[in-house]
Amino acid sequence: RYETCVEKLAATGARVLLFTSYDLRLSPLLEPLRVRNNQFNRRVREVAQAHDALLVDHWAMRAYAHPRMWEPDRLHMSRHGHRYLAAAVLRTLAVDHTITLRDLGDIPRRTAREVWADEWDWWNGWVVPALGRRWRRMPEGHGLTAKWPEPIRPAAGMKRLARSR
């Protein structure tokens, strides 16, 4: 279905932009997901080539190995990750931009104890609750409240509004 969709879009004359997903190195226990993700990405590259689509190869972006590129859930990009990807998209589209990318510094060295403590926190804080929601057939985001429950005007300054709350 993915390739059929890309084929239909390309047939309209549109310039199609595809993305691979990131190299999921979440946890040694989840290595089978990484293998599957690699297979998916290989197929995305083939589809992009077959239909002359542009490709942002997120898998190949080594900058995303830095922990500051990710939110604590290890699945969603942080604001640094979003900025970096936005710059990559604009570069792929050959669009001039003014996005400045901050140097995040070296990846901090951690002891084995710190690594295992982080792993424990991640499993207990993110993975186990997510699996529990799936087992109970609860929708994603169940029990969460909206970050902005009332409509806002971004021009009013989201940071200023957030500080006032």
- If one compares 119 and 53, the residue with the highest pLDDT of the two is 53
Alpha-carbon distances, residue 12 vs 9, 30, 114 (angstroms): 5, 39, 52
Rounded to an integer, the average pLDDT of 85-99 is 94
pLDDT of residue 72: 87
Q: Residue 32: which pLDDT band, with cuts at 50, 70 and 90?
A: confident
Q: Which two tokens stand for residue 108?
A: 């901090």
pLDDT higher than threshold 80 for residue 158: no
44 DSSP 8-state letter: H
pLDDT higher than threshold 70 for residue 26: no
Rounded to an integer, the average pLDDT of 67-82 is 90
pLDDT higher than threshold 70 for residue 100: yes
pLDDT higher than threshold 90 for residue 149: no
How big is the chain by its Cα radius of gyration, in Å? 19
Q: Is the whole-model pTM more than 0.85?
A: no
Distance CA 45, CA 124 (A): 35
pLDDT of residue 48: 97
Q: Residue 24: which pLDDT band, with cuts at 50, 70 and 90?
A: low
pLDDT of residue 155: 66
Kindly report the CA angle at 141 between 153 and 145, in degrees rounded to 5?
45
pLDDT higher than threshold 90 for residue 36: no
